[in-house]
């Protein structure tokens, strides 16, 4: 049977639509530019501030998830502002650093009390000083679906921790993520430099963004990442031509 010209054109158009549709889908599933997102948690402003020149020297843009803002001194607030002005993201890590599921299910506060006491109250204090966090990290990484959903009304994404040996869980596949799992790189994580560098390589190979979590930079406590490890990571990132993402840049 012979096809008429209009039928053939229609077929041709249909094929084009399918091809462009597929291509678009593939792009959505990967980062345009692979990279890493380095995050720091808690309230160690003085320590982070001290290492700003070190981060700058490698062109690093990081995300600092801040808690206990109500205890910051005016000088620490000033330092936080300087950190932000260096291109880093100031994000939120709750007000008092409670385990959020425990707050509700063990200590019997309502979900609304949790949000008001630990989120809204802290955000208000920060907003008053010109900080507007749009992403959140859970204290201790403790979370569940119900709290995730509730927090999505306030934040573009929430970050938990990757407590598994499945490192791929810490690879964000697109630039529009709402739940992220950071891989711990502090001394307490007991991870080797090789395994950390391998995740960076995987991000490059798969066009993803690798998410890392640390606390202090180069102090004696266990929740601290060594300067040597950071230097190895940054050198690897820069050699592979990866980009540094802040968390809001890869959030929904």
- Residue numbers at the binding site for Zn ion (CB under 5 A): 41-42, 139
User: In this structure, are residues 92 and 119 in contact, taking their beta carbons and an 8 Å threshold?
Assistant: yes
Residues 231, 203: Cα–Cα separation, whole Å: 18
Q: How far is the CB of 241 from Zn ion (least distance, A)?
A: 32
If the CB atoms of residues 137 and 203 are measured against Zn ion, the closer one turns out to be: 137
If the CB atoms of residues 35 and 139 are measured against Zn ion, the closer one turns out to be: 139
What the block records as the tokens of 108 is 């019997």
**Taking the CB of residue 133, how many other CB atoms lie within 10 A of it?**
26
Q: How far is the CB of 74 from Zn ion (least distance, A)?
A: 23
- Look up tokens 């299910």; give the residue: 105
If DSSP codes are grouped into helix, strand and coil, which group holds residue 123? helix
- Look up tokens 């981060």; give the residue: 55
If the CB atoms of residues 69 and 234 are measured against Zn ion, the closer one turns out to be: 69
If the CB atoms of residues 60 and 100 are measured against Zn ion, the closer one turns out to be: 100
Percent of residues in the chain assigned helix, strand, coil, to nearest 5: 50, 20, 35
Residues 86, 75: Cα–Cα separation, whole Å: 17
Q: How far is the CB of 23 from Zn ion (least distance, A)?
A: 41
Q: How far is the CB of 126 from Zn ion (least distance, A)?
A: 16
CB-closest chain residue to Zn ion: 41
DSSP state of 2: P
* Nearest residue to 160 via CA among 178, 134, 185, 173: 178
If the CB atoms of residues 34 and 139 are measured against Zn ion, the closer one turns out to be: 139
If the CB atoms of residues 41 and 186 are measured against Zn ion, the closer one turns out to be: 41
Q: How far is the CB of 140 from Zn ion (least distance, A)?
A: 7
If the CB atoms of residues 72 and 234 are measured against Zn ion, the closer one turns out to be: 72
What the block records as the tokens of 38 is 């380095």
Q: How far is the CB of 224 from Zn ion (least distance, A)?
A: 13
User: In this structure, are residues 213 and 184 in contact, taking their beta carbons and an 8 Å threshold?
Assistant: yes
Q: How far is the CB of 194 from Zn ion (least distance, A)?
A: 26
User: In this structure, are residues 83 and 64 in contact, taking their beta carbons and an 8 Å threshold?
Assistant: yes
């Amino acid at each position: 049977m012979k096809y008429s010209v209009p039928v053939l054109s229609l077929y041709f158009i249909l094929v084009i639509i399918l091809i462009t549709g597929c291509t678009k889908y593939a792009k959505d599933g990967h980062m345009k530019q692979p990279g890493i997102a380095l995050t720091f948690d808690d309230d160690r402003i003085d320590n982070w501030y001290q290492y700003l020149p070190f981060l700058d020297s490698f062109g690093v843009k990081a995300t600092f998830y801040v808690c206990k803002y109500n205890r910051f001194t005016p000088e620490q607030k000033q330092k936080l502002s300087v950190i932000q002005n260096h291109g880093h993201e100031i994000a939120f890590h709750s007000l008092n650093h409670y385990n959020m599921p425990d707050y509700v299910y063990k200590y019997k506060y309502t979900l609304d009390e949790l949000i008001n006491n630990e989120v809204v109250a802290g955000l208000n204090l920060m907003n008053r000083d010109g900080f507007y966090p749009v992403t959140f990290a859970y204290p201790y990484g403790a979370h569940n679906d119900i709290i995730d959903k509730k927090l999505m009304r306030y934040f573009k994404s929430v970050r938990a921790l990757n407590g598994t040996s499945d490192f791929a869980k810490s690879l964000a596949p697109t630039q529009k993520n709402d739940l992220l799992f950071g891989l711990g790189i502090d001394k307490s994580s007991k991870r080797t430099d090789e395994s950390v560098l391998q995740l960076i390589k995987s991000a490059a190979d798969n066009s993803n963004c690798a998410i890392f979590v640390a606390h202090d930079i180069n102090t004696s406590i266990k929740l601290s990442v060594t300067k040597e490890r950071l230097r190895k990571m940054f050198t690897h990132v820069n050699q592979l031509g990866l980009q540094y993402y802040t968390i809001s840049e890869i959030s929904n």
